[in-house]
Amino acid sequence: MEFFTLASSSSGNCAFAKSGDTAILIDAGIAAAKIEQTLAEQGERPDKIAAILLTHEHTDHIAGAARLAVRYGIPVYASPKTWSALPFAAALPPSLKREFTYDMRLGEFSFEFCKTSHDAVQPVGLVVQAEGKRLGYVTDTGTVTRGMLYALHDLDALVLEANHDRQMLMQGPYAPFLKRRVAGLSGHLANSQAAELLARLLQKRLCPVMLAHLSETNNTPQTAYQAILPVLQRLGGGAEKWLAVAPAHAPSVRWTL
């Protein structure tokens, strides 16, 4: 399985995964033209995308989805209640509207879904499985849910939100209500929360980790990296090679699992 993110931050999220002839996008929260351009730069083609999977309805996850779907006839998948909140739901041809199911398969891919804790109607994280490998993808969650702990086992790679540094958030420019929202149970995962979760998940087996959905106001790639690195160092040697940070506006490293 191959994987990279095209963009990852509070201003837009989109990730690519491919197994054999089947390619998918997880979220499409940047402009369709930018997705097309980035895929081309990575040697991939938008007309080869078999599905767009949306984790929830927030703009930074869906901005380019409808345009891309219509342009290339790509089915869009989302949780059942998310469809009621997607602004383009009525405009999208019914043939392109699909709901997540627990037995859904796309080519080589199968999926497990877990609830995240976020101020959206039915947000999900997922484990993408292909070729015997399991890749976890969880962003936009204010806390670690039981479902996340249940789903995120035996991973071969994990993309995990490290949205903010608590101190930077509290001392930063956000209005008080926004600080409460981001730090709240239905907000976003702090670096320290990501560190705690990783310490728990990776005890038995270390795997490559990519920190994602970093706030450009309340975090820096360096801050997030330094918050997480000691956790991986405690779990095994050569921690640097296990840890990557997804850039906000450029493609990440490309994983081959």
Annotate 77-111 with b (16+ C-beta within 10 A) or e (fewer). Answer: bbbeebbebbeeeeebeeebbbebeeeeebeebeb
Alpha helices in the chain (DSSP H): 32-41, 59-62, 65-72, 80-83, 146-151, 166-171, 176-183, 191-201, 221-235
Work out whether 58 is an interface residue with Zn ion (CB under 5 A): yes
Part of the chain binding Zn ion (CB under 5 A), chosen from 60-68, 149-157, 202-210, 224-232:
60-68
Q: Which is nearer to Zn ion, 129 or 142 (CB)?
A: 142
Whether 22 contacts 74, CB under 8 Å? no
**CA-based nearest residue to 165, from 246, 222, 84:** 222
Work out whether 161 is an interface residue with Zn ion (CB under 5 A): no
Work out whether 27 is an interface residue with Zn ion (CB under 5 A): no
The encoded tokens of residue 57 equal 């309805």
Task: Give the shortest CB-256-to-Zn ion separation in angstroms.
Answer: 26
Task: Give the shortest CB-120-to-Zn ion separation in angstroms.
Answer: 6
Q: Which is nearer to Zn ion, 2 or 119 (CB)?
A: 119
Report how far residue 42's alpha carbon sits from residue 37's, in angstroms, rounded to the nearest whole number: 9
Query: Which residues on adjacent β-strands are paired with residue 22?
Result: 19
Task: Give the shortest CB-57-to-Zn ion separation in angstroms.
Answer: 8
Q: Which is nearer to Zn ion, 34 or 156 (CB)?
A: 34
Number of residues that bind Zn ion (CB under 5 A): 3
Whether 6 contacts 247, CB under 8 Å? no
Q: Which is nearer to Zn ion, 144 or 257 (CB)?
A: 144
Q: Binding pattern to Zn ion, positions 127-156, x when CB under 5 A?
A: -------------x----------------
Q: Which is nearer to Zn ion, 112 or 140 (CB)?
A: 140
Q: Which residue is nearest to Zn ion (CB)?
A: 58
Part of the chain binding Zn ion (CB under 5 A), chosen from 53-61, 75-83, 126-134, 174-182:
53-61
Q: Which is nearer to Zn ion, 40 or 185 (CB)?
A: 185
List Cα–Cα distances, 10 to 13, 22, 133, 161, 194, in angstroms.
Answer: 7, 28, 28, 11, 16
Work out whether 164 is an interface residue with Zn ion (CB under 5 A): no
Query: Which residues on adjacent β-strands are paired with residue 30?
Result: none
Q: Which is nearer to Zn ion, 60 or 165 (CB)?
A: 60
Residues 64 to 83 in contact with Zn ion, rule: CB under 5 A: none
Part of the chain binding Zn ion (CB under 5 A), chosen from 58-66, 89-97, 190-198, 216-224:
58-66
Give the chain's largest Cα–Cα span. 51
Report how far residue 188's alpha carbon sits from residue 156's, in angstroms, rounded to the nearest whole number: 24
Work out whether 60 is an interface residue with Zn ion (CB under 5 A): yes
Task: Give the shortest CB-205-to-Zn ion separation in angstroms.
Answer: 28
Residues in contact with Zn ion by CB under 5 A are 58, 60, 140
